[in-house]
Amino acid sequence: MNTISETGHTVKQEKLAILMLLLAQVVHVVDFVIMMPLGPKLMRLLTISPAQFGVLVSAYTFSAGIFSFLGSAFMDRFERKYILLVLYTGFVVGTFFCGFATSYETLLFARIVAGGFGGIMGATVLAMVGDYVPAYRRGTAMGIILSAFPIASVLGVPVGLHLANQYNWQTPFLFLGALSTLFLIICGFVLPKVNNQVEAGNGGFGIYKKILLNSYYLNAMLFIQLLMFSIFFVIPFISPYTVKNLGVTENQLPIIYLFSGSLTFFTSRWLGKMADKYTPIRVFKRVLLLSLIPIILITHLTNLPFWVVVLVTCCFMSIVSGRNVPGITLVLSMIPNNIRGSFMTISSSFQQFSVGLATFLAGTILSENADGKLLNYRYCGYISVFISLLAFVMALKLIKKKL
């Protein structure tokens, strides 16, 4: 039970580390995704347009991108647990700032702070999966870590929306800040240290040259960017679209997230096991092609029964987000340990820019008619499908040129 793996950690340490990394990822994901279901409430209470709401969402990701890029030079120069705890602390402070915001401008500033620390923290968590878990179990571990999104949907988002509906929109952030503080303290005590010190000359700002001038690493990062870009051309506006166009009430939104998150929790873990069993690329190709169907469906919904909206959203969340499990596992297995932290952080910085740009562009494509309904959402779906197919082609290219 306590056998030491090639990563230098016992199985017990590995399982405990994955649990704590999962909890860290859950609060980070909740902090990001809670903005999307809060969209209708924020647009109404702060009197902001779809484009301004898109800025609120994208500000988090743009900030994460900038800070991730600047911080990537140092990610492999310090012990990874120490880096995680410092970033976690900054994330907690930023989340509390969101809870004390009282206007569009102060909320925007708070999202920039939270995103700056949260984005690097998320990349560090993914890098630490490779530090703690040997390659032959990495798909399963990645499936667990990436189940943070469905857990956030099942627990975090419904609870957050309930608090927002019962009190005010700031309450979810205050609750999340308190919960994150608790998890931070536990991580400090139970996470084992990571032996990730780099070779001489392999850290500092020279890491940009080592990674960014390598065409293979660049293609691997582009692959991840395409995946995220395609998802976030659609997902941030699902809640506003269902409320404004489909007649779903704000009180019904938690039900949608509860069911879709519950299903995605199981499919993420299952896809991780399938990636270990059949190789990540085989699983990824099939899931990506299948995901094109719910992308089109969810962006073309009209006035339909509530259960149909729930069903389509469940298919979208479980299949489209499920692509990331074999996709990121594929990339993680190709990156050497001594640059994994820097690579994942640089990749995360570009990923955040992709997410922010996609959200911002989608917000500019959408508009409201005289009845307050969102227009042109179907065009966001078409763009998402096109970018998804580009990611499919890039995955094939990576396998052919594997180092």
pLDDT at 380: 92
pLDDT category at 57 given cuts 50, 70, 90 is confident
Q: Where are the domains of the chain?
A: 11-400
Report the C-alpha dihedral over residues 403, 207, 221, 332, rounded to 10 degrees.
60
Position 1 pLDDT exceeds 50: no
Provide the angle, in degrees to the nearest 10, between the axes of the packed helices 11-33 and 157-166: 40
CA dist 183 and 23 (Å) reads 7
Strands (E), 325-373: 367-368
pLDDT at 303: 81
Position 364 pLDDT exceeds 80: yes
CA dist 335 and 167 (Å) reads 46
Which residue would you say has higher pLDDT here, 336 or 230? 230
Cα atoms in the Cβ-side hemisphere of radius 13 Å centred on 324: 27
Position 201 pLDDT exceeds 50: no
CA dist 304 and 207 (Å) reads 52
CA dist 148 and 152 (Å) reads 6
CA dist 132 and 196 (Å) reads 11
Q: Which of 29-33, 37-41, 218-222, 384-388 shows the lowest per-residue confidence on average (mean pLDDT)?
A: 37-41
Identify the three-state secondary structure at position 164.
Answer: helix
Q: Which of 19, 18, 24, 21 is nearest to 5 (CA)?
A: 18
Share the mean pLDDT of the chain.
82
CA dist 133 and 128 (Å) reads 8
Residue 198 DSSP label: P
Q: Model pTM?
A: 0.70
Length of the chain equals: 403
CATH topology (fold) of 11-400: Growth Hormone; Chain: A; (1.20.1250)
Instruction: Kindly state the average pLDDT of the residues 131-155.
Output: 76
Put residue 103 in one of left, alpha, beta given phi > 0 → left and psi -120 to 50 → alpha: beta
CA dist 229 and 215 (Å) reads 20
Which residue matches tokens 């640059």?
339
Position 174 pLDDT exceeds 80: yes
Position 136 pLDDT exceeds 80: no
46, 103 Cβ separation under 8 angstroms: yes
CA dist 342 and 360 (Å) reads 27
CA dist 360 and 96 (Å) reads 25
Instruction: Kindly state the average pLDDT of the residues 326-348.
Output: 77
pLDDT at 289: 94
Instruction: Kindly state the average pLDDT of the residues 181-207.
Output: 71
Q: 264-283, pLDDT tens digit by residue?
A: 878 888 888 888 888 888 99
Position 202 pLDDT exceeds 60: no
Q: Which of 126, 321, 145, 132 is nearest to 221 (CA)?
A: 126
287, 271 Cβ separation under 8 angstroms: yes
Considering the chain, what percentage of its residues have pLDDT values greater than 70? 91
Instruction: Kindly state the average pLDDT of the residues 244-250.
Output: 84
Which residue would you say has higher pLDDT here, 266 or 349? 266
CA dist 279 and 289 (Å) reads 17
**Which burial class, exposed, middle or buried, applies to 5 when counting CB atoms under 10 A from its CB (0-12, 13-18, 19+)?**
middle
CA dist 171 and 294 (Å) reads 33
Considering the chain, what percentage of its residues have pLDDT values greater than 90? 22
